Amino acid sequence: MLLQAVHHIAVICADYSRSKAFYTGVLGLQVIREVYREERDSWKLDLALGNQYIIELFSFPDPPPRPSHPEACGLRHLAFAVADIEAAVAQLQQKGVSTEPLRTDPHTGQRFTFFADPDGLPLELYEVI
Instruction: For residue 117, give every residue at least 6 positions away whose Cβ sits within 8 Å of its Cβ, in sequence order, or none.
Output: 11, 13, 19, 22, 23, 123
The CA distance from 94 to 110, in Å, is: 23
pLDDT digits (tens, 9 = 90+) for 65-116: 888 777 778 888 999 999 999 999 999 999 999 999 999 999 999 999 999 9
Strands 103-104 and 42-49 turn out to be unpaired
pLDDT for 6 beyond 90: no
Tell whether omega for the bond before 67 is within 30 degrees of 0, i.e. cis: no
Nearest Cα neighbor of 49 from 64, 37, 63, 32 is: 32
Res 73: pLDDT: 83
Q: What is the structure's pLDDT at 102?
A: 98
pTM: 0.89
CA–CA separation, 112 vs 14, rounded Å?
Answer: 27
